[in-house]
Amino acid sequence: MTTVRIAPEIHLVLDIDSATVAQENEGILQYSLDPVFERLDKLDIVAEDLINSLSPSRPLVNTWPGREHTSYIAGFYTNAWYGIVVGFFFFGMVLLLMYLRAAMGGA
């Protein structure tokens, strides 16, 4: 809560956030939220980085410049590798099935 003293001699203050003029009271404890806002700003950066990690074309906070598409390329090669492995597995199963049919005398 940020306040401006309008008239210190009659204890009038202006609350900047709500734009209200009020009488200053000695029993009210005022504290600054600036340290909290600084921590929230850091937390906002971390949250934005978490959202950026879901997109392969967005840069992360702790990466070198020019590595925006690294996860896209890594995902491409990983999916290509898994596609090849699964393709060879199914091809091997088909060859095994054909061999077993031929060995059992089937057509």
**Has residue 29 got a pLDDT over 70?**
no
What is the model's pLDDT at position 30?
A: 66
**Could you tell me if 33 and 45 are in contact, meaning their C-beta atoms sit under 8 angstroms apart?**
no
Strand segments, DSSP code E, in the chain are 3-7, 12-15, 20-23
pTM attached to this predicted model: 0.46
- The percent of residues above 90 in pLDDT, for the chain, comes to 36
Cα–Cα distance measured from residue 100 to residue 52, given in angstroms and rounded to the nearest whole number: 51
Per-residue pLDDT band for 28 (boundaries 50, 70, 90) equals: low
